Structure 1
Amino acid sequence: MTFDCARPHELAAFWSQATGWEIHPETEPDGDEVLVCGEPNLLFIRVPEGKSVKNRVHLDVTGSDGTTRDQEVERLAGLGATVHDDRRNPDGTGWVTMLDPEGNEFCVCRADYEKQS
């Protein structure tokens, strides 16, 4: 999955921390492309224009190791994401749409283990 962005190294660092995936070891420090190795791989490429419309494709993320959706929202906010649209419901269903540091939308959903409790 490829992200056009203004600051590929900074955005890749955010997503590396968010996912726990490693930045490719052969990444050039001042290069225009940064690969975060995961499933799927995330490629960040420097482009001159800024983001102007809503993403047509986005990632859905969940907590791991017993982390709840709400804990994951807080963790990602601590890494630099912001809440864009909170769709959590009183019964525990729903999701939170967040923006990464360059404004790309992604959703934080409940993990399967949360749905069973």
Structure 2
Amino acid sequence: MIELEHITFACEDPEELATFWQRAVDGERRDLPSFDSEIVDRERGPALLFKEMPKGTERDLPIHLDFAAADRATAVERLTELGASVRETKTESGEGYTATWTVLEDPEGNGFCVTEYE
């Protein structure tokens, strides 16, 4: 059996991006005195690992995180105050549900979404 340990972000500035995500997910920074990377531990789920390295080629799949929030608008407002930018907001309805999500970018342009279900 394997366990997902980290979600790794290739980035230009690990310190800056780790600070954004630490605040965004209410995480805690792990002390890594001998590494050139940053780790943000979360209360549940895998840690987020930030390494200074090229983002790869156009063939590589980018990291994209999906979050759910009871109050999407408030969550989006908080994330933009931390440095995220909004790309767009969409809504989709099906039998018995409506999902509204906002697509955002972190300070280095990595996409992520915040979704609210009704």
Deviations 1:3-39 (A, max 9, x none): 0000001100000000001010x233x9521011122
Alignment of 1:15 with 2:18, yes or no, is no
- Give the superposition deviation at 1:84: 1.1
**1:51–1:103 Cα contact (<8 Å) kept:** no
| TM-score between both structures, scaled by the size of structure 2 | 0.76
Query: Identical aligned pairs, as a percentage?
Result: 36
Q: What does the per-residue CA deviation read over 1:73-110, in whole Å, with 9 as the maximum and x for residues that have no partner? A: 11100000000121146996320110000000000011
Contact 2:62/2:110, CA 8 A, preserved across alignment:
no
For this pair of structures, how many residues does the alignment match? 106
The residue aligned with 2:4 is: none
Cα RMSD for the two superposed structures: 2.6
| Cross-structure match for 1:80 | 83
Q: Which one has a larger percent strand, Structure 1 or Structure 2?
A: 2
Q: Is the 1:61–1:109 Cα contact (8 Å) retained in structure 2? A: yes
How far apart, CA to CA, are the structure 1 residues paired with 2:72 and 2:27? Answer: 19
**Per-residue CA shift, 1:27-62, capped at 9, x if unaligned?**
33x952101112221000001x35775854411113
Structure 2: tracts of 5 or more residues without a match:
1-6
More helix by share: 1
The residue number in structure 2 matching 1:102 is 108
- 1:35 to 2:65 alignment: no
1:33 aligned partner, one-letter code: S
Unaligned runs of 5+ in 1: none
